[in-house]
């Protein structure tokens, strides 16, 4: 099975400033690359957080076929959930599952392709605009990551005025590694993440500026190139690109109260990465990586020393992998001690990984609800409860609350 989602502070100072941590790291399997030496002490194997939170799970809705993305609607309107085969569903707060929303773009439903992420426009209350990413069919078995928006009807049964605003180029023959997260920043810019379509030939496109493989793209809500993009004036697609050298970015979020854009991307065998994204930065894939190929051979030359090769190193990496889905920063009252922590969904590890940060540095990690299995997306509901979806043929939308609040 394929396993895909600044200067360091001193370890002593970081731990002194953080809540009490246990001495051991999170229990995992054997490392894929024990030969790797981290670039700085806190870059991997953070101390296990001494968390005594017991979590209750409640299934809001089942019968979802490989759900991929969640968007929380305002008020008591419930949720939008994508299903990879190409359906957008409305889920009421009581769990009632709608018929498929009409007007969704056609998708390429093969392997990892299909209907992927969903998010609301910052002005959704007025515009009712919904954004989607998907694997776009491009003829002759070819496809690529695409993004579009449409207007959601008041009764939540259809999308109208659908406009495609981004299409990955060139088309790929490989229905793998689409990336596909959508994130708005506080100034209304839209970030779209992509993947590099997995194959040994295509992975190198993550370094090519004339291709939008393995990139973070930054656009206006209408799909135009905004002021301030690092490669503006160099033509399309270069001027769309915000960062490059990524493998398959399936997790992305803005850090609350800052302008920091963070992503989680899949490594190969070993080397899932948490990256703090800077405009114009190159994160190295596939020239450098903390992982290796699935057959055990080295990727490119097997190099992992990002800074020595002129690349930006990750703020954190996992070996063995968690195979990340989405990520978010927790904000809410139910898990008050987790305020500002990263919650990353896991496909191979299962459940959620929680990371505590001190500035840009990970100072602790723990794991929760691994018994849920493959968790693809994570979101925070209005009451501070945590929402996750499980990526199975019979997937579920599940609410997480502290045991004492259930």
Catalytic-labelled residue, pool 90, 177, 197, 246: 177
Largest CA distance in the chain: 58
Residue with tokens 């919650």, as numbered in its chain: 343
107 CB-near residues (< 8 Å, 6+ apart) = 85, 86, 113, 114, 115, 134, 135, 136, 137
Give the separation between CA 226 and CA 230, rounded to whole angstroms. 10
- For 157, the token pair is 């049964």
Residue 105 phi, psi dihedral angles, 5° rounding: -60, 155
CB atoms near residue 105 (< 10 Å): 20
| Closest of 157, 103, 154, 165 to residue 128, by C-alpha | 154
Active site residue 177: yes
Q: How many helices (H) and strands (E) does the chain have?
A: 3, 25
Looking at the DSSP bridge assignments, the partners of residue 70 are 81
CB atoms near residue 374 (< 10 Å): 19
* H-run or E-run covering 201: helix 200-203
* H-run or E-run covering 127: helix 124-127
Peptide bond preceding 170 in cis form (omega within 30 of 0): yes
Residue positions annotated with a catalytic role: 177
């Amino acid at each position: 099975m394929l396993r895909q989602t600044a200067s360091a502070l001193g370890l002593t100072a970081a731990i002194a400033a953080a809540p009490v941590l246990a001495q051991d790291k999170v229990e995992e399997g054997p490392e894929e690359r024990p030969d790797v030496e981290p670039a700085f002490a806190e870059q991997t194997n953070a101390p296990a957080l001494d968390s005594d939170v017991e979590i209750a799970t409640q299934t809001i809705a089942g019968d979802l076929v490989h759900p991929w993305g969640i968007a929380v609607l305002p008020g008591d309107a419930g949720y939008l959930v994508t299903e990879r085969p190409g359906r957008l569903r409305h889920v009421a707060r009581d769990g009632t599952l709608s018929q498929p929303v009409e007007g969704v773009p056609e998708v390429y439903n093969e392997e990892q392709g299909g209907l992927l992420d969903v998010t609301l426009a910052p002005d959704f209350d007025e515009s009712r605009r919904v954004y989607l990413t998907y694997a776009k069919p491009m003829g002759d078995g070819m496809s690529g990551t695409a993004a579009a928006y449409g207007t959601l009807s008041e009764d939540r049964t259809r999308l109208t005025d659908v406009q495609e605003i981004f299409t990955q180029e060139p088309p790929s023959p490989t229905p793998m590694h689409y990336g596909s997260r959508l994130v708005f920043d506080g100034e209304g810019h839209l970030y779209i993440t992509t993947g590099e379509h997995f194959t040994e030939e295509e992975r190198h496109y993550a370094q090519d500026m004339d291709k939008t493989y393995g990139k973070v793209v930054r656009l206006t809500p209408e799909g135009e190139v905004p002021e301030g993009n690092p490669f503006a004036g160099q033509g399309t697609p270069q001027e769309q690109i915000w960062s490059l050298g990524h493998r398959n970015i399936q997790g992305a979020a803005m850090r609350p109260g800052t302008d920091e854009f963070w992503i989680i991307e899949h490594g190969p065998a070993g080397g899932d990465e948490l990256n703090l994204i800077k405009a114009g930065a190159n994160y190295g894939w596939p020239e450098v990586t903390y992982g290796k190929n699935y057959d055990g051979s080295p990727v490119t030359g097997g190099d992992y020393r990002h800074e020595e090769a002129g690349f930006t190193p990750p703020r954190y990496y996992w070996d063995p992998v968690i195979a990340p889905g989405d990520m978010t920063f927790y904000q809410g009252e139910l898990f008050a001690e987790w305020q500002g922590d990263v919650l990353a969904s896991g496909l191979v590890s299962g459940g959620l990984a929680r990371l505590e940060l001190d500035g840009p540095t990970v100072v602790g990690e723990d794991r929760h609800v691994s018994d849920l299995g493959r968790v693809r997306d994570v979101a925070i509901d209005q009451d501070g409860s945590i929402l996750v979806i499980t990526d199975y043929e019979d997937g579920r939308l599940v609410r997480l609350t502290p045991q004492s609040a259930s």
